[in-house]
Amino acid sequence: MGFPEQPENAQERAPRRSRRARPFEDAAPAPQPAPGAEPPGEPAPGAATQVNSRIGWSPYDEGPRSRAPLWFAIGGVALLGALGGAIALMWNAGGPTSAETAEPQRTSAPLPSVPPGKYGYAENRSTDPDPISVKEVFGKKRKFTTSGRGYEMTITSKDKKCTDGALGDKLQKALKAAKCTQLVRASFRDKAGTVIGTVGLANLSTGKNAGKVAKVGDEQNYVKPLTGKDSVTKFLGSGSGGARIWTHGHYAVLVWFQNKDGTKPDSKGQKRISQAIDDITKATVFKALDNRTLTGSPLT
Q: Which pLDDT does position 123 carry in this prediction? A: 97
- CA max distance for the chain: 135
Q: Which pLDDT does position 11 carry in this prediction? A: 38
Q: What is the C-alpha separation between 139 and 155, in angstroms, rounded?
A: 12
Q: What is the C-alpha separation between 256 and 245, in angstroms, rounded?
A: 9
What beta strand segments (E) does the chain contain? 143-146, 149-159, 166-167, 182-190, 195-203, 222-223, 241-248, 251-259
Q: Which pLDDT does position 110 carry in this prediction? A: 53
Q: Which pLDDT does position 17 carry in this prediction? A: 36
Q: Which pLDDT does position 275 carry in this prediction? A: 97
Tell me if 185 sits within 8 A of 162, measured CB to CB: no
DSSP character for 162?
Answer: G
List residues bridging with 177 in a β-sheet: none
Closest CA to 251 of 184, 196, 299, 166: 184
Closest CA to 204 of 181, 173, 184, 221: 181
Q: By three-state DSSP, how is residue 124 classified? A: strand
> How does pLDDT run along the chain (300 residues), one tens digit per residue?
555 444 444 333 333 333 333 443 444 444 454 444 444 444 444 443 333 333 332 333 333 343 333 333 334 444 455 555 555 555 455 544 444 444 445 455 555 678 888 999 999 999 999 999 999 999 989 999 999 999 999 999 999 999 999 999 999 999 999 999 999 999 999 999 999 999 999 999 999 999 999 999 999 999 999 999 999 999 999 999 999 999 999 999 999 999 999 999 999 999 999 999 999 999 999 999 999 999 999 988
Q: Which pLDDT does position 112 carry in this prediction? A: 61
Q: Tally the C-alpha atoms within 13 A of residue 6's C-alpha that lie toward its C-beta.
A: 17
**φ/ψ of residue 210, rounded to 5:** -65, -40
Going from the C-alpha of 159 to that of each of 43, 133, 147, 165, 294, the distances in angstroms are 111, 11, 32, 6, 27
Q: Which pLDDT does position 81 carry in this prediction? A: 54
Q: Which pLDDT does position 116 carry in this prediction? A: 85
